[in-house]
Amino acid sequence: MSRYVVLLLLMMSPSLAWAAYSGHRPTLGEVRELLSSVCSSGVVTGACTPCPAFTRATAGKSLLLESVVYGQFTHAHQTDALLEFSGCEAPVSNYGGSVLLRWQGRGRWTFSRYLMGYRAGDCLNYPARDGRDLMLCKEENTGSASLVLNDFSREDRFVQALFYVEDSSATCSPFGSVQKLLEWKQVKATAGGYPGLWVTVASAAYQRLNAKVDAPCTGTLALTKSRTYTLEYSFDGHLFRPTAATEKLFGPLLKDNPDMFYEGGNG
């Protein structure tokens, strides 16, 4: 589906936005058009070189556009673009960030805000009650992953954290969990008119045997049997809720990792 068809769908009907589109790697034409409102070098080279002033980079580096997702993030009748960038940030800032642009028509975008350290490359649109799009995004750090619902009309963007999975086996801990977020996907709308969510995770616990006091990373990992769980959530246009069947699965998952699930939401 072309970008211009997507933009037309977004402007015609907010209800089509979440079903029609998610993020992708932009074409060269898109890169030049989108970057024209981010940096002066973007139109010619397809990258921001040197790093824009809104980043915290050292001289000589480039800001590279990795992905873009279109939606109505700030207003029900306003088309926006959320751009994921790599470069121009330190490891503590996740080696990049994201930029929110606002569509002005006739191939023109305006810069709205920069989210340092926020990588929006793996996200899905979900329709909010007021006709805007919320974004459910996979956020990763070393050895961990979480699904977080974001509202980009808010300064803090955070709405809800569904859960947190962790593989702590590389931390030299004497015990911990080996968990992976294997798959997550949007499912068809339910009776309430909103799409749901399916998540698949693998989970096991471990104990490190025969590790030396002065060398905690030594020893052998004794793993419990890894099991795969399918979790299902409904969505009401504001928050996700686990189904009754999914709530029954939390017990064994929490046994592997007591920090895995937590209630989240400031919406």
pTM of this prediction?
Answer: 0.83
- Residue after which a domain boundary falls, among 77, 95, 121: 121
Other C-beta atoms closer than 10 Å to the C-beta of 12 total: 10
CA nearest to 162, candidates 129, 191, 188, 197: 197
In the block, tokens 């997507």 appear at 6
- Give the whole-angstrom CA distance, residue 5 versus residue 30: 14
Identify whether 128 is part of a domain: no
Pure H helices in the chain: 3-12, 14-20, 28-35, 42-45, 244-247, 250-256
Six-digit token pair at 20? 């029609």
pLDDT, one tens digit per residue, over 3-36 is: 544 554 444 443 333 443 567 889 988 988 999 9
Q: Are residue 38 and residue 152 in the same domain, yes or no?
A: no
Q: In the prediction, which pLDDT does 13 show?
A: 40
Q: In the prediction, which pLDDT does 120 show?
A: 79
**Mean pLDDT confidence for 117-145:** 88
pLDDT > 70 fraction of the chain, expressed in percent and rounded: 88
- Residue after which a domain boundary falls, among 81, 96, 121: 121
H/E segment holding residue 178: strand 175-189
- Give the range of the structural domain holding residue 244, as residue numbers without chain letter: 135-267
pLDDT, one tens digit per residue, over 138-185 is: 888 778 889 999 999 998 899 999 888 999 988 888 889 999 999 999
Q: In the prediction, which pLDDT does 90 show?
A: 87
